[in-house]
């Protein structure tokens, strides 16, 4: 049963044991799992403690209902405040924490939560499970059409011209600080026109005081630790970037569906992708963004959290060590990691086109493997293995006497 508004992980889980109902459906049978989205709605989900029927809480307190606090659509890091709110919520409803699961993208969340509980003397604890909702959503689109998409993309790859108008593709519409620093450097260094760059404009800033886009952006950039000198050097380029407005790639009607693999001819007219992730410090996670280039036969460089490439490999993909210096992935310092990635971008942009042709030929087997894996294998692994194990972990809370497959 879905107990609060918001996107949640069960929307794309195809396990036949899962049948979804809304809490407002009077004909719904007694649920085994109550999912409460608690990421995008921030703390407002706490209202569901009063809004949902008391018999639900009695069922959970009796061990016949598992509660899933689902934050898997975000990479929120653990905070003491969030944990305290969840535990207060459970005390109010009378449900033991051991009857609950907290799902999150952040791989460091479980340890941080455990440490918090130990410091606070909390013995009744939730389970913490990792789930990447947007990654699942991205590959869900290829559960049935993956093989056909692979053949189409492979044919386009084999027909790519040896001469291309740009060096790279850079997606991501939202003006997050690391993305903006990257774009400002491109402008300063005269590299913007060497890429197919997607940017939604500064109007997409999430909070703008007094309609001062420039001032709001400056505050965000100045808050980036270690970037003070770079901000000073790049500040004159903020106005030219703002003046560009929206710079959109692909079909405008599909752009709002950011988790989809949008058909883009720009992949065939460039040599590599610069992935600008949602953030470069905080949670240990990746989003769907790195996979867009991998299923489109392009090598990539990632401006993301440390360990991003390691997580990409955990999903079964190959990266491009030997042609790209990927030591940046292990660099814990945000500024140094940013500079290392940018220098690789600048180096590749400076290569003669013949060298980029050779790189693509040498990487053809890896590019084909990644596209085939992502389009034809990983969707089935999600459906038949990852999601099945996740459901079994949930059901273990209400059927503890039944054998459960290992996670």
Query: Residues near 104 by Cβ (< 8 Å), separated by ≥ 6?
Result: 71, 72, 74, 75, 76, 128, 129, 130, 131
Distance CA 111, CA 161 (A): 49
Distance CA 137, CA 231 (A): 36
| pLDDT score recorded for residue 252 | 64
Task: Record the tokens describing residue 186, joined without a space.
Answer: 């491109």
Residues 77-124 have pLDDT tens digits of 999 999 999 999 999 999 999 999 999 999 999 999 999 999 999 999
Task: Record the tokens describing residue 340, joined without a space.
Answer: 């290392």
| pLDDT score recorded for residue 260 | 79
DSSP 199: B
| pLDDT score recorded for residue 207 | 61
- pLDDT exceeds cutoff 80 at 248: yes
Query: Range with the lowest mean pLDDT among 245-249, 288-292, 331-335?
Result: 245-249
**Residue reference for tokens 């294998």:** 377
- pLDDT exceeds cutoff 70 at 401: no
**Residue reference for tokens 């988790």:** 259
Which residues of 335-393 form beta strands (DSSP E)? none
Q: With bands split at pLDDT 50, 70 and 90, how would you rate the model's confidence at 407?
A: very low
Q: What is the mean pLDDT of the chain?
A: 92
Q: With bands split at pLDDT 50, 70 and 90, how would you rate the model's confidence at 405?
A: very low
Query: Range with the lowest mean pLDDT among 68-82, 324-338, 355-369?
Result: 68-82
In this structure, are residues 332 and 305 in contact, taking their beta carbons and an 8 Å threshold?
Answer: no
DSSP 13: -
Of the CA atoms within 13 Å of residue 66, those in its CB half-sphere come to: 21
Distance CA 228, CA 181 (A): 11
Query: Residues near 238 by Cβ (< 8 Å), separated by ≥ 6?
Result: 184, 214, 217, 218
| pLDDT score recorded for residue 208 | 60
Residues 271-308 have pLDDT tens digits of 999 999 999 999 999 999 999 999 999 999 999 999 99
Nearest to 259 by CA among 284, 286, 287: 287
- pLDDT exceeds cutoff 70 at 59: yes
Distance CA 377, CA 369 (A): 10
Task: Record the tokens describing residue 71, joined without a space.
Answer: 């934050």
Proportion of the chain in helix, strand, coil states, percent, rounded to 5 = 50, 10, 40
Distance CA 300, CA 319 (A): 8
- pLDDT exceeds cutoff 80 at 209: no
The two counts, helices (H) then strands (E), for the chain are: 17, 8
Distance CA 104, CA 101 (A): 10
| pLDDT score recorded for residue 214 | 85
| pLDDT score recorded for residue 249 | 86
Of the chain, the percentage scoring pLDDT greater than 90 comes to 78
Residues 139-149 have pLDDT tens digits of 999 999 999 99
Nearest to 195 by CA among 65, 298, 286: 298
Distance CA 157, CA 155 (A): 5
pTM: 0.92
Distance CA 282, CA 246 (A): 28
The predicted model gives 40-54 an average pLDDT of 85
Q: Decide which of 2.40.50, 3.30.750, 3.90.930, 2.20.28 is the CATH code for 9-131.
A: 3.30.750
The predicted model gives 58-83 an average pLDDT of 93
Distance CA 250, CA 198 (A): 9
- Give me the helices (H) in 75-226, please: 80-93, 109-120, 133-140, 146-158, 177-189, 213-222
CA 390 to the chain's CA centroid: 19
């Amino acid at each position: 049963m879905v107990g609060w508004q918001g996107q949640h992980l069960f929307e794309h889980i195809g396990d036949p044991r899962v049948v979804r109902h809304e809490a407002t459906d009077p004909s719904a049978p007694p649920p085994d799992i109550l999912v409460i989205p608690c990421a995008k709605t921030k703390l407002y989900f706490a209202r569901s403690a009063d809004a949902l029927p008391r018999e639900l809480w009695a069922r959970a307190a009796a061990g016949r209902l598992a509660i899933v606090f689902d934050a898997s659509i975000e990479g929120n890091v653990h905070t003491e405040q969030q944990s305290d709110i969840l535990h207060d919520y459970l005390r109010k409803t009378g449900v033991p924490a051991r009857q609950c699961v907290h799902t999150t993208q952040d791989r460091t969340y479980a340890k941080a939560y455990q440490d918090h509980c130990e410091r606070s003397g909390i013995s009744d604890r939730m389970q913490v499970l990792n789930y990447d909702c947007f990654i699942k959503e991205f590959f869900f689109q290829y559960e049935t059409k993956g093989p056909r998409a692979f053949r189409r993309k492979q044919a386009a790859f084999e027909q790519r011209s040896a001469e291309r108008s740009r060096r790279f593709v850079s997606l991501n519409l939202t003006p997050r600080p690391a993305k903006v620093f990257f774009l400002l450097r491109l402008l300063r260094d005269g590299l913007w026109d060497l890429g197919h760059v997607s940017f939604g404009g500064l109007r997409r800033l999430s909070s703008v005081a007094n309609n001062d886009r420039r001032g709001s952006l400056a505050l965000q950039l100045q808050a980036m630790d270690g970037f003070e000198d770079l901000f000073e050097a790049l500040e004159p380029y903020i106005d030219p970037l703002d003046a560009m407005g929206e710079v959109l790639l692909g079909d405008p009607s599909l752009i709002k569906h950011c988790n989809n693999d949008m058909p883009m001819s720009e992949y065939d007219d460039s040599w590599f992708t610069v992935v600008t992730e949602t953030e470069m410090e905080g949670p240990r996670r990746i989003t769907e963004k790195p996979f867009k280039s991998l299923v489109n036969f392009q090598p990539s460089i990632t401006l993301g959290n440390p360990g991003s490439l390691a997580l990409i490999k955990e999903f079964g993909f190959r990266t491009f060590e030997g042609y790209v210096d990927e030591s940046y992935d292990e660099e814990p310092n945000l500024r140094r990691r940013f500079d290392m990635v940018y220098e690789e971008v600048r180096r590749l942009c400076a290569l003669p086109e013949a060298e980029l042709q050779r790189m693509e030929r040498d990487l053809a087997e890896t590019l084909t493997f990644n596209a085939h894996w992502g389009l034809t294998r990983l969707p089935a692994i999600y459906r038949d293995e990852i999601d099945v194990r996740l459901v079994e972990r949930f059901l273990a809370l209400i059927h503890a006497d039944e054998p459960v497959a290992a996670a």
